[in-house]
Structure 1
Amino acid sequence: MAAKDAIRRHKTELQDILCLDPQRILDRVFQTSDPVLITQREYRELKDINKDDVEGHVISLVDKIMDKGEDTCKRFLDLLQTDEDIKDTFPDLEKIQWNIDPTLLKRTLDDTKQTNHGGPVQGKRHKDDQDELTSTPTGLSVKNINIVNNNNIGQNNTVAHGRLQKKPRYADGDDTVAGFVHRVTDIQTSKKSCRYFNAVIQTGQEEFHRAVIFSAAKHRSFSQAANNSTPVKLSRIKKSWSTSDDTFDILVSDISFMAETTVPFIPKPPTASVNMDIAQVLKMGPKEMIGKLQARVICIKDGSHDMIKSGGEDQEIKECWISDATGQVVLRLWNSQINRIAINSCYEFSNVSTRRQTEFYLTCTKQTSITPVADLEIPHHLSMPNSVEEPLNATSGPIRFVRLTNKRCCEKCDKSQKDIDPQSVVVHRCEGCELNQRVDSYASIVSGTVMMTTSTGEVDLTVPPSPLTAYLTSGDLLHLLKDTDELEKHFLVSPSFDVVYNASNLLTKIQKTSAVAENLRALTDEPHS
């Protein structure tokens, strides 16, 4: 069987295994040379992938290897089967039956080396490819992880000046930790329908470890331990080397168990639970949590307003600039969070996360809370954003066509409900978190499209939920959210509206045109004799 065909045949199984430590396999593939498997540019692109979970990094890596052809696939398989560090880190690779003739792999590798040593080296790295590599935290995978003893952890590597260096190995058989539980998240569901949640385990006065719990049934016990500051012992867990520091993460499964215990230290919130300023935040890496941050909203970026697909759901996003006495940064808001802020107002933002794509920014999470605070002193040079915002469009006129849809969403998990009829049922079990709730407790999320007739022609606009909700709130019309037919009629019978929209034709503000403005416009539009 050809190497590329073998990878394709075992692609899902291979990706599940490599997701245990995606940064490790990416670093090791990048370090392979003579010739290189991936270039410096490809390494950076793969490392910076923005995915809902870390499987995206591994899937893209395997796809890129396959796209490079048969010879690259053979060298990749040789790395998986012969590299001692890879074999230690991913012991389950030995279970894959590749059915590849080892002599074929060796012959291909020898031919490649001979070609490269005898002539121009193909794929030779540029000088800037030798820069020191830094490992970026990519989170933990939720892919088919078996909880085993610590003797399967293997050795971890750091990359410094192009050389792999071993990290110290923890004692074999240490599959128990004791301490306090902090920051238990809600239950989440991965792309492959695996339910899990995260927490932080304090194992010393100044020692904290990330934990991923692959057992939704344990959520209640972890939450109680966190709320009551009860010291616990976790047994039959696995320690997995962290991709962001020289310690380990904790993986908990169905066979793990928790018991109360005593520890020689007192509970202390993790660093991310204390107040931080923007200067400290700007020094953090991507995908790190921030406990509390107080800042003023100095600019709302209407040009960034957009509707995207995330987790299979339509999501509304909008960005703003926030500032404190030490700096300024962009914050991304989602869905109902958009209407919770106002320009020049000050807030405490808790449980936000850092991100980096082309630029560094913050994003709200499902656990984020936004609380108004007293006015903050902001230096003059930080009271305006350090970038120019996109220009917006404004127009007025009647709405000629309208189509609105009402989506019922669980306020606990944000899952939209497909099977819910508020006219015939009183309670409904959420299709996401599976909590049984009153039907009227589900949020009504209304969005759609309109076509307006203006003085310059007709314009089609996308109407997201937040400006529509803001309009109805200001006019004491929120009751119309429950009846889209009546809401559509309201827009069609009203004489005229003033709207603002961005370059994507997404409506950002809407209000009724005043009677004075309508009369002035009528006079202006009348033909002169």
Structure 2
Amino acid sequence: MSSPAKKLKTDVFEDESCISGFIHNVSAVRVGVRNGAKYFNALLQVSREEFRHVVVFAMEKRTAFIQAEKNKSPVKLTRIKRRVSNDGGKFDVQCGKSTELLVVTEVGFSFRESPQSAKKTMSEVKAMAARQQVGTIEVKICHVEVASEMVEIMGAKVETQTCYVQDGTGQVKLQLWAGQIGQVLCGHSYRMRNLSTREYLGSVFLTTTRNTEIVETKEVAGASSFVQFEVEEEQVTTYIGSIVRAEIAVSKKCTKCQAWQLEFNSAVKFHRCQRCKLLQKAEYYQCTASGRVAFLQDNNEMDLTVTNSVISCYLEKEGMRHLLIEGQNVEEHLLTVDTWKVQIQRDVVVKIEKVAETAQSEKPEDKEIAGAMAALESEEM
């Protein structure tokens, strides 16, 4: 039999009256991992200082929530449910199909930015606990590591890259994930929204999320006085040779619910997402390719890791992104090209390109004919 404390956390209380306030931080549509239910989140400012978490299970209401957030309009939510929150006696707001969002003239207090949207300095970020949301930062990129790496998350390979950001209060490590890789350049300044904190070996660092926004901006105030920041990295070495073996895996992700597809038949035209259950054309799924190759240079064979950004950048340049539908397509192409130029750091390929084919050397008989023709021309003169 469950204890009273455990039962309290699962109770749902009908609230037929209403709750009023300002809408903040409307999220993208999400899909529950356990039951596949679609929902989105928001914050509701219910007083000058107090904010409540909101979860909405009616997708048709998201446009109204976004509009209320954009207009900073005071609203009243009717026919809601209240769930006991984990935040010490507070409650979260649950909205369903019967919930109504009504714009009202006033709610007795003024609009105020939510704590999650507030701008943070690097010193403030370093003082935060792990797994806290960071609304906005304005920083200068002081270092971007050359090599990225592939890590396995929920059965799929996802790429990550480390960089370092700074403002007038200090520097913090920032972990870029997947789509954010390549969006920042060293020495440039950016406004970033919707990040999260993590902790490793006692140090707090930042990580991007799937809702992170990165926009280049004018140089951060006081950037000229920032402390010089350097990270020692292994040298990038260039080799010319051939790829003699390759193993490339292609992972597929639903662009609707962001779920990785653990099973995917590339030979069929359509595929049903294993989470949101929507049937889609196979080419509409986002492809991520990574793996390893055996690179032969002057009879020296090297086992190298190839990341998604390197493969995608090469295929985009060559107009061959269609190969990403299946890993073997990429493998066969890598083995077909005779000569490659690769740049390597720590056994990781950071750039790959084909070496232009040179004219074939003349055959011995061709040289003899050319010599005879030259002698004949000399006698005629």
Same fold (TM over 0.5): yes
What is the deviation of 1:421?
5.7
Q: CA RMSD in A?
A: 3.7
Contact 2:141 2:166 in 1 (8 A): yes
Choose between structure 1 and 2: higher strand proportion. Answer: 2
Residue 181 of structure 1: aligned partner: 23
| Structure 2 gaps, min length 5 | 359-381
> Which of the residues 210, 227, 240 maps onto 2:67?
227
What is the deviation of 1:253?
7.2
Query: What's the % identity of the aligned pairs?
Result: 24
Residue 463 of structure 1: aligned partner: 306
Counterpart CA distance in 2 for 1:199 and 1:312 is 29
Counterpart CA distance in 2 for 1:241 and 1:483 is 45
> Which of the residues 92, 99, 103 maps onto 2:7?
92
Aligned to 2:316, the other structure's residue is in SS state helix
Residue 168 of structure 2: aligned partner: 325
Contact 1:404 1:488 in 2 (8 A): yes
Residue 511 of structure 1: aligned partner: 353
Q: How many residues align?
A: 349
Q: Does 1:238 align with 2:80?
A: no
Contact 1:149 1:174 in 2 (8 A): no
Q: Does 1:362 align with 2:206?
A: yes
> Which of the residues 46, 64, 68 maps onto 1:203?
46
What is the deviation of 1:236?
2.9
Contact 2:64 2:101 in 1 (8 A): no
Residue 252 of structure 1: aligned partner: 94
Contact 1:301 1:319 in 2 (8 A): yes
What is the deviation of 1:453?
1.1
What is the deviation of 1:250?
0.9
What is the deviation of 1:344?
2.7
Counterpart CA distance in 2 for 1:298 and 1:474 is 28
Aligned to 1:204, the other structure's residue is in SS state coil
Q: Deviations over 1:37-84 (max 9, x none)?
A: xxxxxxxxxxxxxxxxxxxxxxxxxxxxxxxxxxxxxxxxxxxxxxxx
What is the deviation of 1:200?
1.2
Q: Deviations over 1:280-308 (max 9, x none)?
A: 333333222222223232212245x3222
Q: Deviations over 1:457-479 (max 9, x none)?
A: 21222322111112233444444
Which one has more relative contact order, counting CA pairs under 8 Å at least 6 apart? 2
Q: Does 1:283 align with 2:127?
A: yes
Query: Could you say if the C-alpha distance between residues 424 and 149 of structure 1 is closer, same or farther in structure 2, counting changes exceeding 3 Å?
Result: closer
Counterpart CA distance in 2 for 1:392 and 1:316 is 19
Query: Could you say if the C-alpha distance between residues 477 and 448 of structure 1 is closer, same or farther in structure 2, counting changes exceeding 3 Å?
Result: same
> Which of the residues 354, 358, 372 maps onto 2:216?
372
| Structure 1 gaps, min length 5 | 1-12, 18-86, 94-144, 151-172, 517-529
Choose between structure 1 and 2: higher helix proportion. Answer: 1
Question: How does the TM-score come out when normalised to structure 2?
Answer: 0.75
Counterpart CA distance in 2 for 1:249 and 1:506 is 49
Contact 1:285 1:354 in 2 (8 A): yes
Counterpart CA distance in 2 for 1:311 and 1:490 is 28
What is the deviation of 1:251?
5.1
Counterpart CA distance in 2 for 1:356 and 1:256 is 41
Contact 2:58 2:97 in 1 (8 A): no
Q: Aligned AA for 1:348?
A: R
Aligned to 1:340, the other structure's residue is in SS state coil
Residue 265 of structure 1: aligned partner: 109
Counterpart CA distance in 2 for 1:478 and 1:343 is 28
Aligned to 1:352, the other structure's residue is in SS state strand
Contact 1:292 1:348 in 2 (8 A): yes
Query: Could you say if the C-alpha distance between residues 228 and 251 of structure 1 is closer, same or farther in structure 2, counting changes exceeding 3 Å?
Result: closer
